[in-house]
Structure 1
Amino acid sequence: MCNLLQFAFTLAWTAAWICLALLLRPLSGREARLPLRMAARCWAPGLLRGAGARLEVEGAARVDWSRPCLLVANHASVIDVCALFRAVPVPLRFLLKDEMKRVPFVGWYARATGMLFIVRDSARAGALMRREAAAMLARGQVLCLFPEGTRSRDGTVAPFKGGSLQAAIDAGVPVVPVAVQGAGRVLPVQGFFRVRPGRIRVGFGEPLAVREDGAPVPRQVLADRARTRIVGMLEAWRRKHATCGS
């Protein structure tokens, strides 16, 4: 019963804030700064509190938020998006699955705020998405994507797909590894909206340069480096938790 009430709250809260954001969208110009900041300061905190999630953010000072960058994060739950919206101190856009366009409210908001969509298993669509992402980054915006391609069901970080990181190379902006821990326990992939209170950590790693010795870093090498940094942050948190708990 509690989970049903939380699910109803999530739907109502999301619909209400998205309706307000869409009403105000014409006032915020091309960059859609106002509706994006509403997601970070109103919608996401409300859903995190409603789920009983305590958010902890580490390493944000490592990133120069006055400049564009590509954030790459591990992915274990839909609540990752809330945690990232809240943790990033500037307007944030995501690369989403194309199916999200058809989701009421969420799809409307995503399109209105300039989110990008990827069609799976389409080389042509992938190339177009990379050009759009590079153009977005070149305009000074911050974009986040999940290079695993799907949510992890057991907390294991799957290999990263390097294709989507090409946008950062083309735009000449750094790639920032972002580790998210605990989201999969708060809102697991399995089952119907089984929310459990808990802590969600978001950690920002040192930005990765997309060029070395005057040449672009191969995109798969860049993806592997980002994954290694993220896995390292997650393992460090686990060791710290084990030490504190012993």
Structure 2
Amino acid sequence: MIVRIFHTVFFYVVTILSFLIGSSLALLYLPLSKTKTKPFQIAAHHWARFLAFFSGIKVTVSGLENIPKDKALIIVSNHQGAADILLLLACLPVLFKFAIKKELFGLPAFGWYLKRAGYFSVDRKVVLSAYRTVEQITEILKEGGNVLIFPEGTRSKTGELGRFKRGSLLAALKSGAPIVPIAISGSFNIMPRGTFLIHPHPVKLTVGKPIYIASEEDYDNKVGEVRDSIARML
């Protein structure tokens, strides 16, 4: 237990220091970039790779060949644990934006970085927030960007795959963008709910074949198909 506490504290210290270094490098690269958000997304990718390696978490990745190239896409994953976004940022060969709790944007330095990277907030207490999120995702896709969505809406309490919120994939219908299903298995054990201690548990990340939602009539069936695809890969 003492070793685990020491490892966790040391990891958080390294996280903060590497975040400051990565932010500085992103700012230096900013004048050379065509977009204002890309340097911060690239820095987030490398930062996540460094932290995933430093944490001791062994990740096995398969199915990367299923990710479409040169096409805006929606990455849809189950949400087992707090490390999911970190692992997806580290392991996927594409940059992407995602929704984050509104409260995190208020954190000093970190909130600033989230905004500069183009990540967007979601307020679960406001009904209209879900509609605005769909509009934001659709706009990002139209601009050629990629978006990560957790259709369960929150982290799993048991590690099992939960129900998908019915409107979670409306942006795929509105934009015509392909949905890339991803299954994360094992991240639930890295940092279970109620603890900040890190357990370097092995993780399996599997990428499935793209799924398209062609019509409103087919929406519910396709949402079920995406969920079934993830369930089979777990």
TM > 0.5 fold call: yes
1:71-121 deviation line (CA, Å, top 9, x unaligned): 111112222112111222122111222222112333212211211221113
Structure 2 Cα separation of the partners of residues 188 and 15 of structure 1: 27
2:230 aligned with 1:226, yes or no? no
- Higher mean alpha-carbon deviation, 9-18 vs 137-146, is at 9-18
Q: SS state of the match for residue 66, structure 1? A: coil
1:157 match: 161
Amino acid at match of 1:126: A
RMSD: 1.9
Is the 8 Å Cα contact of residues 94 and 115 (structure 1) preserved in structure 2? yes
Is the 8 Å Cα contact of residues 153 and 190 (structure 1) preserved in structure 2? no
1:191 match: 195
In the TM superposition, what is the alpha-carbon distance from 1:26 to its structure 2 partner? 4.4
1:203 match: 206
1:124 match: 128
1:196-219 deviation line (CA, Å, top 9, x unaligned): 2232221111111111xxx33554
Amino acid at match of 1:38: A
Is the 8 Å Cα contact of residues 203 and 233 (structure 1) preserved in structure 2? yes
Is the 8 Å Cα contact of residues 122 and 133 (structure 2) preserved in structure 1? yes
Structure 2 Cα separation of the partners of residues 97 and 74 of structure 1: 17
* Distance verdict in 2 for CA 1:97–1:64, change over 3 Å: same
Q: List aligned pairs for 1:47-58, cutoff 5 A.
A: 47-58=51-62
1:60 match: 64
Is the 8 Å Cα contact of residues 49 and 91 (structure 2) preserved in structure 1? no
2:19 aligned with 1:14, yes or no? yes
Structure 1 Cα separation of the partners of residues 90 and 110 of structure 2: 17
**Identity rate, percent:** 28
Structure 1 Cα separation of the partners of residues 129 and 34 of structure 2: 27
Match of 2:137 among 133, 136, 154: 133
2:216 match: 216
Match of 1:175 among 176, 179, 204: 179
Unaligned runs of 5+ in 1: 235-246
1:129-179 deviation line (CA, Å, top 9, x unaligned): 211210111121110011111111321111111323111111111111111
Structure 2 Cα separation of the partners of residues 63 and 27 of structure 1: 28
1:240 match: none
Q: TM-score, normalised by structure 1?
A: 0.85
1:108 match: 112
Is the 8 Å Cα contact of residues 97 and 118 (structure 2) preserved in structure 1? yes
Structure 2 Cα separation of the partners of residues 22 and 77 of structure 1: 30
- Higher mean alpha-carbon deviation, 178-187 vs 24-33, is at 24-33
Q: Number of matched residues?
A: 229
Structure 2 Cα separation of the partners of residues 156 and 76 of structure 1: 7
